[in-house]
Chains A and B, each alone.
Chain A
């Protein structure tokens, strides 16, 4: 009995031949091209992740500011974006009056911390807080407009170059060339945040700050200098805004309107991550930074602002206290 002959295997309508078997089912150039495309896609994805983490680190620094102000005064600082915009403008203004750049940095840094660390608490938060949360929130909105217009009219309506403390160039990472500046922004911002976290959890002053944030009345009874702790929180907020400003201004260029975008993104990040937790603001910042960059690349630049807002809506619907937030009587 004759066994049925197996039907020859066919590839793209052609019988499979020995040379084809040696080469594989598709010609080598095609496979290489496909592999190259896959590699290019992976490289692009990795580069976008690094860029997204760098952007997210800036958002995280600003978002932590929202959290700190919320914890100490139970209000939202709507001028937080302008806090990130202003230090770079102050440095440039100081250099424009003839100071050398290092001295301009010193003047800008000290001036900003005094004005928007100490001054913000002393002249805006303290007088307004006794009238309730809403008037204070509205006062921060007014402050936001005031800072922006003062920067525009008092300095310049145009973008200005800001010196970079980090060299340009790329670094090979898992086969993809990623930006040194992106990595540096990420490392510096994360170091600042980890330093803050260590200060809050591992030092006596930090724990006292936490106690003040959790229950200022009990803290006062226990002898905690509550006002000094609140002032320290505002100074830390100003310092974080400074770091964010010096890191991002060489990339975005120093301009009065920079705070609008950063403030909105950080606000979304703080809500998504959890408004009452520093780790929540950190996670929210990175998440929004990643989503922002991936949306710009894979959706479109036009919708990059909309995608984080969609995430915000979903988080509010599913977990109103934020991804890592703690449930409170009031949720944001």
Chain B
């Protein structure tokens, strides 16, 4: 083969390959499709798929179709690091996910080094405190949720003592470390401080400890499946004290798995398809029609993450990762501008988000919104 033939071949290949590449923009979703995070990851994946289908049907982003690839993080920090590295190597425009805070903390340096924006579903406060300009949330930071919950425990539940049950991972430790000072500031005694393990199946001993702590209320900060198992164990032990929690405890999957044991559970929720918000309700219906079950907050996170990419990219008018990250810091996306964002959302300088949230109670197997809480810094 002569050099001319080779060069012609390369030129021909480039001519065919270049338009195909130019017509798509690659988003890589590193998400929990197995392991303890599977319920959360499945919802996120479905939500992001739904958004991509809608955006592509309307012409994509700046004329390019979105190519969304999912990699299973296995809810494991090591597997997450490998998947994020692969995403960077495969030239992802933006990395989506994961949701669990431990795997986020273990992998976000990879996207930071490569200068690739990463939009995650985690709530632990630690990872947006590290000055990483490429990390962005889709949900409220747990440190912003806990004062609201502590006020609720003091003012509405009238609790003088609370048993705190948390999961021993980055998410749970962060929640525990955030809620206890808030309770103490309000003069509420911590009657029991109970750590549980990720993937734990048997919660009988923990429920018995809670029962004998005889606190006025129980604060639960566990992941989805563990929350459901704990609620079942609590009811099995005949505990009738108010059970209060954050978004996860009131998620659709927890309510489905816990069954009747979820009734009466109350708490603070950042995103909810049953909230009095037309955007959430329309999304909830679309999701139900397509997948046959109710989306939890992670479905909304996955959906809005893709619309965030679309909106910010269209604002900067080009596919430039650095410009994207700069533009998203301090950005505000309102539903009036982009209905796909579902709720007016503001990103702070550290990648945290600020938006309205809800106080919810589970009644007859359904989360019912009791009050809407405003943005912290509108």
Q: Is there a chain A Cβ closer than 8 Å to B212's Cβ?
A: yes
Q: Which of B194, B195, B204 contacts A179 (CB 8 A)?
A: B204
Q: Is there a chain B Cβ closer than 8 Å to A255's Cβ?
A: yes
**Given A170-B238, A177-B237, does the pair A301, B196 have CB atoms closer than 8 Å?**
yes
**Given A47-B208, A159-B39, A169-B238, does the pair A251, B228 have CB atoms closer than 8 Å?**
no
Chain A residues contacting B233 (CB-CB under 8 Å) are: 251
**B312-326 vs A, Cβ < 8 Å mask (1 yes, 0 no):** 000000000000000
Chain B residues contacting A304 (CB-CB under 8 Å) are: 197, 205
Q: Is there a chain B Cβ closer than 8 Å to A63's Cβ?
A: no
Q: How far is the CB of A284 from chain B (nearest CB, A)?
A: 17
**Given A168-B235, A255-B225, A301-B168, does the pair A182, B195 have CB atoms closer than 8 Å?**
no
Q: Which of B232, B253, B260 contacts A251 (CB 8 A)?
A: B232
Q: Is there a chain B Cβ closer than 8 Å to A72's Cβ?
A: no
Q: How many A-B residue pairs have CB under 8 A?
A: 103
Q: Is there a chain B Cβ closer than 8 Å to A20's Cβ?
A: no
Q: How far is the CA of A226 from the CA of B329 in the complex (A)?
A: 75
Q: How far is the CA of A157 from the CA of B238 in the complex (A)?
A: 30
Chain B residues contacting A261 (CB-CB under 8 Å) are: 201
Q: How far is the CA of A308 from the CA of B206 in the complex (A)?
A: 18
**A280-313 vs B, Cβ < 8 Å mask (1 yes, 0 no):** 0000000000001110110011101000000000
Q: Which of B202, B208, B238 contacts A292 (CB 8 A)?
A: B202
Q: Is there a chain A Cβ closer than 8 Å to B86's Cβ?
A: no
Q: Is there a chain B Cβ closer than 8 Å to A95's Cβ?
A: no
The answer to whether B212 and A40 have CB atoms under 8 Å apart is yes
Q: How far is the CA of A92 from the CA of B208 in the complex (A)?
A: 30
The answer to whether B202 and A44 have CB atoms under 8 Å apart is no
- Interface residue ranges of B205-233 to A (CB < 8 Å): 205-206, 208-209, 211-212, 214, 225, 228-229, 232-233
Select the stretch in A1-9, A48-56, A321-329 that faces chain B: A48-56
Q: Is there a chain A Cβ closer than 8 Å to B363's Cβ?
A: no
Q: Is there a chain B Cβ closer than 8 Å to A161's Cβ?
A: yes
- Interface residue ranges of A163-204 to B (CB < 8 Å): 168-170, 177, 179, 181-182
Q: Is there a chain A Cβ closer than 8 Å to B33's Cβ?
A: yes
The answer to whether A44 and B236 have CB atoms under 8 Å apart is no
Q: Is there a chain A Cβ closer than 8 Å to B42's Cβ?
A: yes
Chain A residues contacting B208 (CB-CB under 8 Å) are: 44, 47-48, 51, 297
Q: Which of A47, A250, A301 contacts B200 (CB 8 A)?
A: A301
Q: How far is the CB of B326 from chain A (nearest CB, A)?
A: 38
Q: Which of B35, B204, B228 contacts A51 (CB 8 A)?
A: B204
The answer to whether B211 and A47 have CB atoms under 8 Å apart is yes
Q: How far is the CB of B293 from chain A (nearest CB, A)?
A: 10
Quick one: which of B35, B200, B237 has the most chain A CB within 10 A? Answer: B237
Q: How far is the CB of A61 from chain B (nearest CB, A)?
A: 15
The answer to whether A253 and B205 have CB atoms under 8 Å apart is no
Quick one: which of B199, B209, B236, B253 has the most chain A CB within 10 A? Answer: B236
Which residues of A come within 8 Å of B, CB atoms? 40-41, 43-44, 47-48, 51, 54-55, 152, 157-161, 168-170, 177, 179, 181-182, 250-253, 255, 257-258, 261, 292-294, 296-297, 300-302, 304
- Given A40-B214, A251-B202, A302-B195: 7 more A-B contacts, CB < 8 Å: A48-B205, A157-B38, A158-B42, A159-B225, A160-B257, A253-B225, A253-B228
Which residues of B come within 8 Å of A, CB atoms? 33-35, 38-39, 42, 168, 194-197, 199-202, 204-206, 208-209, 211-212, 214, 225, 228-229, 232-233, 235-238, 253, 256-257, 259-261
